[in-house]
Structure formats: structure tokens, C-alpha cells
Structure 1
């Protein structure tokens, strides 16, 4: 999936943003703290939640996206606004009486100039056929997700991922199958990449299968951290847990430092090292068509990590789309300004502009200096 453009209004919370057009592989949302960068990512996540049957109070949207097969969809809709004192209204709706829930006012899904779904309060049309009365609290994409015409759009939206794999310690795997059974199930790189397993499990499978992609990932990591000489991934192991229970947790990543005799486990390595490893693994092992949302890309990353990672985000995997936020000067200066979206906010209205709208200098350095001046004025 690639998000082409997006427009959102949240009538309940009182914020909105005009249409944002995204770059096909990387968009960097740049702005001061509080400008609305994170709100844009949250809005994208909300659309995935709607596609999976959730009602978001007062949310109105229009998104244009394409799938890995090149099919383009326009999906738009809106929920009515229900006044409540609960700020996390959408999280408690399932516990409420239907009369208190936010319901869909309208919804429309178009592909290749063909209207697949058209819904209002009075009627629902699916492929020009009148449908019976269905739940007004759930998107038709969710209700009809197994229909051939809708399945492609549903699957694409579910490739939106907000991921943070940088925390060490015990983290459950996505799969209930044992790691041994997964090793028998996935025998090729394509089968591993296109699976629903988490990134650490994919990295483990690539390691166990001795795939060339693991050596590529390791080489990229060692290029950044040249004191490291080796890397391995092993099942979670604990003296306090049975093998069956321990197998439910994500595998552990180990590094071998040239100056340290013992292997260093992920919960003992620096957060910057671990985050860098996970980002590299995501670039090479994420599902084809994934949209990966990264809030404050610079968190925990050292200057030595940023150059190579930002270059890889742009050039390595053309089937992925990264949408990241940052206000860190070094991050911004290392990503060409054609990928910048400058985010400003006035009240509840969030505005995004291309760097070219500000007529920034032709050189990278000039553009960066002028951007700093713009952000200083905003603050």
C-alpha cells in the first residue's frame, strides 16, 4: 500500500488538517513540538481501526491509496458527533448503548472510477446493488472484507503499522505456533517476508535458514557499529519459564563486541543499537506494501546511525512507505527537502506545506538554515 493523499477532520476533538500529499517511499513531517505531527500519524492509525470495525466519534476522512497490485482506491466517510465527557470515547463505545454510539453518516469507496460502496443514513449500495440494513457503527469495508471487490482494499489498509520494537525483555510473538513449527512452515525469503510474524521472529527465521538477507542486515549493522563483529538471534530462554511458555516470547538479538568476550543480549545493549537493528530489519523484512509510521524518528539514535538509516529509508525497499516525524536538526539535514512536509498549526487547524512552498535555498545547507528560521518563528 502507498498512501497518496489524506484529509481528516475530527469534529469531536476539534481539529482538522487539509489534504496532505505523501511521497511514495518517505515523507518526513517537520515542525516544532505541538505542531500536529503526531496527530497526523494518529489519524492514519484511526483509519486502520475504522477498517477493522471501530467507530471513531466525529471523524470525517478522505484517503486515496494504491495497493501493491497498482489498484487505486478513494475511501471517504464520516461519523456523527456524540457529545460526551470521555476523551477516549472510541475506546468505550463497545460498552455503551447503541443509541449513544457514533454512527456513520456516509461512506464511499471508489476504484478506477467505479463506485464500489455508497452509503448514507437511508441506504447502502454495494456494486450498485441495494443492501439490507446493516450495522451503522461499522465500516462497510469491515463488513464486506471477504468480498473479492473489497478484500484488496481491506488488506492494504491493514498494512499500516505503528511499530516500536525497541523495548527489551519479554514481548509476545504474533503467532501461537512454536518457533520449530515456523521453521518448517517458512522455507523461503518470500514466505518469511509476506508472513504476519513480528520483525524479530522474521529476523530469527532468516538467521536460522542462513539466508543471504540476514548477512545483508548484519553487514548494514556492522557498517554503523564497527566495533561489532557478529550478530545472532536465538529463542527466548529463561530458567524461570518452561520451554513451552518461553517459546511464546519474541526471540532475542545478541551482538558480539570485538572488545567484550561474551555475547551481549538485546536488553543489555544500547537503545540506539537495538532501534537501529530493528529499523534495518524492517526495511528488508517488512511485508510488501507496508506503511510504517515512525514518531520522532531520532529517539535513541546516535549521529553515527542516522546517515545510513535515512539513506536506506529512501533507497532500499521501494515497496515500503515510511511516514516519520522529527524536529531533530541532524535528521532533517540528512533527508533531502523534497521529502519534507512542514507542519504548522493555528488553533485546531493543522497545515502542511511542501518545502518548495517556502522557496527555500537551492543547496541542502541553505534550505536547512531557512527551515530553522521558519521553525524559530513558529515557536
Structure 2
């Protein structure tokens, strides 16, 4: 799937943005606080709406192209209910039933033909009036099994949001790799599964898929002190009535006999391995949202991973945010979107529409000195 464009407003929180068009790789650049993260969260919010959640006061227009070549244009709006003060603890309102916002209107076009037209009085699907259905859920979730909707519903599952502004804890898999082997018989099935990257990586290691050696080689390029990587279950049967199994990553460094478990690896090293694995293990048509791509990565990691973003040929779309000079300078300026904000209105501008010089250095210097970039928020 490819996200072609989005327009989004949150009337409850009084912010939003006009239509943003995306490339196969889009880097949102701008000073802190202009709304780069909000753009990614808006896309993620639409995925959740399509899966049955509701967002108070939200209004949207979005266009997708699926792997089957279908173009979907989806727009809608939830009513804006007065919400409680967010600083009042939930337990003080525990005796009150929460009222969910209803759909005000919703419209879906498939290849320019309207297949859903819905408001608070009527619901028309494929030219036919529908009975009264759930008013707090999107039509995409309600009709997700219908042939005309299925392609979009399945495609929206391919949106993955990575928020690197949040600190990651120790990660391991509690799933039984041996049981997963019985379910997933080959590499393609593993790629197409909804498993976490951690579990996919453990499976390709266990099944001795050649792709694991490719991932390991790329990782060793970044960290030459590492000579081997393995992913295996560990067991602790110290207690007679309890058996704990977890699958963990371990690395072996040159000249060191003992294997190092991933909870003792640096966060940048672990994240680099997961990033590299994701490049190989994501299924075609995935849309990746990466917030603050550079967080907890060293320069050597950034170098390799930005190259992977630029030169990936797996039909995967990346939309990332950054204000790190090295990343901005590494990604061609044709992919930059300059983000600014005036009050609650977020705006984006294509960097290629401005004369920014010919070399990477000239373009980067032009960017950081450009009025749109420097003013940021006004």
C-alpha cells in the first residue's frame, strides 16, 4: 500500500493540517514543536479508526493506493463532544458512563466511484440503503469483510508506527518458537504474518533461512567488534511448579568467550539490529512511520540505516521525522518536507520547490537558514 495524501483536523484539541502529499520516502524536517510527530500520529489514528476505534472531534481526508492498484479516497468526521478535564483522575468519574462520539459523515470512493455515503440519517453502501448500524464506528470496520472494502481493510493493517521519542525497555519474546514453526512453514509466510519483528527474526534464525545471515552481515558492518549473533530460547526450571521460557538475542564479540544477552547490549546496538531486520522482514506494501529516527543511535548506525531507507527496493513506504543534521544531510532533499506551524495550523512545504543549491552541504545550509525552517512556530 502507498499513502498518497492526508488532510486532518482535530477540532477538540484545535490543531490540524491541510493536504500533505507523500513520496515513497518522506522526511519531515523542522524545529521541535512544529507538528512533525502529530502528522505521524494522525496517520496512525486513521488506522485505528478503520479498525473500530473512535476519535473525538476528528475530521479527515486520505488517499491510499493498494498493491492491487486500487485507489481509495476516504473522508469522514466524528462529532466533537465536550470532554472532561484531562487533569481529573478517572476514579472520580467512575460512576459516569462515558459517551462515545458518533460519525457525523463518512464517504469512501473506490477508483473514483462512490461506494459509501453516510451521515447521521442514512447509510448507503454500493448504491443500497443499509439498516441502522453502529454509529460510533467507521464503515470500513463495519463492512471490512465485504469484497469492495476488504482490500483497503487488509492494506491498512500494514501501517506500522515506531515512536522513538519513547524509551524502549528490555524486549524479548514469550512465544514458543517451536510452536510458531508449526504454523509458519517458509520465509514468505513469516514475512506476511502479523508477528512482531523480534519473533520473525527468531523464526528465520531457528529455520536457518539465508536471510538471517544477510541481516547478521549488515549488522556486523555497523559493529565490527561483533563476530556472531544467535536467537534462542532460554529456560529457567529452578522452581518445580513453574517453567519460564523466553527467546532472546545474544551476540558474541571478538576475543570474548561469553555470549552477551540483548538486555546488556546498548539500546542503539539493539535498535540497529531490529531496524536492519525490519528492512528484510517487512512485507511488500508496508507503510512505516518512524518518529525521531535518530534517537539512541550512534553515527555509525545512522549512516547504515539512512542508506537502507534511501535505497530500499522492497516496495515499502517510509515516512519519518528528524531534526538531526546528519540524517537530513544523508537523505536527498527531494524527499524533504519542511514543517512549520502557525497557532494550531500545521503546514508543509516541499524543499525541492525552493532554490537550495546543488550540493548536499549547500542544500542543508539553505534549509537550516530558510525562514520557514528558522521561524518554525509563529
TM-score of the two chains, using structure 1 as the length reference: 0.91
8 A Cα contact 2:162 2:291, kept in partner: no
Aligned to 1:181, the other structure's residue is in SS state helix
TM-superposition CA deviations, 1:175-228 (whole Å, max 9, x none): 6xx321211222211011001111111101111111111111011111111111
Answer yes or no: is 1:187 the counterpart of 2:185. Answer: yes
Q: Which residue of 2 aligns with 1:19?
A: 19
Q: How does 1:1-379 map to 2 (within 5 A)?
A: 1-24=1-24, 26-87=25-86, 97=97, 100-163=99-162, 167-171=168-172, 178-238=176-236, 246-247=244-245, 249=246, 251-374=247-370, 375-378=373-376
Alpha-carbon distance between aligned partners in 1 of 2:94 and 2:124, rounded to the nearest angstrom: 26
Q: Which runs of 5+ in 1 are unaligned?
A: none
2:337, 2:348 within 8 Å by CA — same for their partners in 1? Answer: yes
Q: How many residues align?
A: 371
User: Cα distance, 1:268 vs. partner?
Assistant: 0.6
* Matches of 2:179 and 2:204, distance apart in 1: 14
**Does the C-alpha gap of structure 1 residues 186 and 94 become closer, same or farther in structure 2, counting only changes over 3 Å?**
farther
My pick for the range that moved more, 103-112 or 235-244, is 235-244
Q: Which has the higher mean CA deviation after the structures are superposed, 232-241 or 210-219? A: 232-241
Q: TM-score, normalised by structure 2?
A: 0.91
For residues 268 and 52 of structure 1, what CA distance do their matches in structure 2 show? 37
CA distance in 1, matches of 2:129, 2:43: 30
**What is the deviation of 1:160?**
1.1
Unaligned stretches of 5+ residues in structure 2: none
Q: Please state whether the residue corresponding to 1:235 is helix, strand or coil.
A: strand
Q: CA deviation at 1:288?
A: 2.5
Determine the C-alpha separation between the residues in 1 that align with 2:133 and 2:87: 25
Shift of 1:95: 9.5
CA separation of 1:274 and 1:2: change in aligned 2, threshold 3 A: same
Deviation at 1:258, TM superposition (A): 0.6
Deviation (angstroms), 1:307: 1.6
User: 351-360 or 274-283, which moves further after superposition?
Assistant: 351-360
In structure 1, the residue corresponding to 2:20 is in which secondary structure? strand
Instruction: Return the alpha-carbon distance in structure 2 between the equivalents of residues 49 and 144 of structure 1.
Output: 15
For residues 367 and 355 of structure 2, the distance between their equivalents in structure 1, rounded to whole angstroms, comes to 10
Q: What SS class does the counterpart of residue 340 from structure 2 fall into?
A: strand
- The answer to which of 72-81 and 181-190 deviates more is 181-190
Aligned partners of 1:283 and 1:317 also within 8 Å:
no
Q: Classify 1:84/1:292 alpha carbon distance in 2 versus 1 (closer, same or farther; 3 Å).
A: same
C-alpha distance in 2, partners of 1:196/1:44? 19
Q: Deviations over 1:316-347 (max 9, x none)?
A: 24321111111111111111111111110110
Partners of 2:173 and 2:248 within 8 A in 1: no
Distance 1:50 1:243 in 2: 43
SS of residue in 1 equivalent to 2:12? coil
Structure 1 Cα separation of the partners of residues 125 and 29 of structure 2: 40
Distance (Å, rounded) in 1 between the aligned partners of 2:329 and 2:152? 36
